[in-house]
Structure 1
Amino acid sequence: MSNNELGYAGDITPDTANEWMQSGAAVMVDVRSEAELAWVGFVPGAVSVPWKQWPSTAINPAFDEAVKAAAKGQKIVLLCRSGVRSIAAAQRATQLGLEAYNILEGFEGDANADGHRGTLGGWRMRGLPWRQN
């Protein structure tokens, strides 16, 4: 699928996102809610810009200005729980003129047969840098 069809610069693996972030080639924007960051875990150095407001799930009215400020003229890589919200956020960031990439698998990856995340892909399962409060 071409980037024009996606509506954003492209999809990248968690490993590539980590490499770009560590080298300073990109800024990571975590679009999960503050509750998810606090309870599930977060990536050190990522900028928190929630895509939706909890618990209403309405789009965060401060997203546009916050994501532009976070980018600081660099490309951005967007992270969510499973790689779905980050697609919508990457599309919006692209509309705002940013070079935005979706991180495949998200922080927790896909749910397994028991409905549990964290075992089928994702930033955390791949052993990339993360912390918990």
Structure 2
Amino acid sequence: MRWNVMGKYSGDIALSKAWDILTNSPNSFLIDVRTIEECIFVGAPWLKEIGKETVHMPWRLFPNMEINPHFITGITKIVPDINSELLFICRSGARSGEAAQNLAEHGYKYCYNITEGFEGNLNNKYQRGNLSGWKAANLPWRQN
């Protein structure tokens, strides 16, 4: 199933559409672009129940948050098929949007940004993780 035939950045998608693609398209990948530290301390999507594994490849590196110079080569080693559907997730949707656009510019045809991210928006107490995002949607995740 293809969601975009243009071969360019495919745009932002909601969690429900992302889950549908991951579940129904065998050539789809979830790429978590958060730092290793975020994944360890906050948790990460868990795709075992649909027979997949989340690809962890930070777009920006801690502590200075500079762009990872090995991002493109890392993704192309893990997902060499430019026709794969790549779904990018970060904390709240900003870094994943940058990463999706970058991969599209490097020839990948189906690059999507999951808008709510893993933790979603801040609530009225300035906390993430319970208002929106992967965790709040009760999609499968785990914490190390």
Task: Please report the TM-score for the alignment, with normalisation by the length of structure 1.
Answer: 0.90
Distance of 2:134 and 2:11 partners within structure 1: 17
Distance of 1:14 and 1:69 partners within structure 2: 26
Residue 25 of structure 1 deviates from its aligned partner by 4.2
What's 1:83 paired with?
A: 93
Distance 1:25 1:12, change over 3 A: farther
Residue 101 of structure 1 deviates from its aligned partner by 0.3
Distance 1:70 1:14, change over 3 A: farther
- Residue 105, structure 1, aligned to residue 106, structure 2: no
User: Which structure 1 segments of 5+ residues have no match?
Assistant: none
What's 1:37 paired with?
A: 39
Distance of 1:18 and 1:132 partners within structure 2: 19
What's 2:131 paired with?
A: 120
What amino acid is the match of 1:108? E
What's 2:79 paired with?
A: 71
RMSD of equivalent CA atoms? 1.5
Overall identity of the aligned pairs, in %: 39
Residue 124 of structure 1 deviates from its aligned partner by 0.6
Q: Deviations over 1:71-121 (max 9, x none)?
A: 342110000000010010011010111121000100000001211001221
What amino acid is the match of 1:75? E
User: Which structure 2 segments of 5+ residues have no match?
Assistant: 47-52
- Residue 54, structure 1, aligned to residue 62, structure 2: yes
Moved >3 Å (runs of 4+): none
**Greater Cα shift, 54-63 or 68-77:** 68-77
Q: Retained in 2: the 8 A contact 1:27–1:70?
A: no
What amino acid is the match of 1:54? F
Task: Please report the TM-score for the alignment, with normalisation by the length of structure 2.
Answer: 0.83
For these two proteins, the number of residue pairs brought into alignment is 128
What amino acid is the match of 1:60? N
